[in-house]
Amino acid sequence: MQENYATPLYTIGITAKLIKVCPATLRIWETKGLIKPARLGKNRFYSKYDIDRLEKIKDMIRKNRINIQGVKKILSTTACWEIKSCREKEKKACPVYIKHRRS
């Protein structure tokens, strides 16, 4: 199950439609270092984890009016489960949480 969450399956076009932004926005966010999709040749592929992260980025920029540098700072200093408000049982199964705990 966790493998599916982290497996890059979605193209940039599908991802853009899912989070309701244009593909150019995703390219800009990648250039600015907010997201790093998997690559196969020139094509970008996003996982469900990436889509969750992109939703949070979009919310911070559009709803909270935080600029890209501010979002980058927040994401670099805050664990994803704090942003997503994960429940405890989800954290125990989360590959990001497990990796962070080992560091």
- pLDDT tens digits for range 30-46: 999 999 999 999 999 99
Sign of torsion, CA 85 71 39 25? positive
**Phi, psi of 7, deg, nearest 5:** -80, 125
- Tell me, what's the pLDDT at 1? 45
Q: Hey, how many other C-beta atoms are within 10 angstroms of the C-beta on 36?
A: 11
Domains with residue ranges and CATH for the chain? 2-102 (1.10.1660.10)
pLDDT greater than 90 at residue 101: no
Residue-averaged pLDDT of the chain? 82
**Which tokens go with 1?**
């199950």
Beta 43-46 vs 10-11: how paired, if at all? Answer: antiparallel
pLDDT bin (cut points 50, 70, 90) of residue 103 is: very low
Q: How far apart are CA 28 and CA 13, in angstroms?
A: 14
CA 87 to chain centre: 18
Q: Which of 15-19, 52-56, 95-99 is modeled with the greatest confidence?
A: 15-19
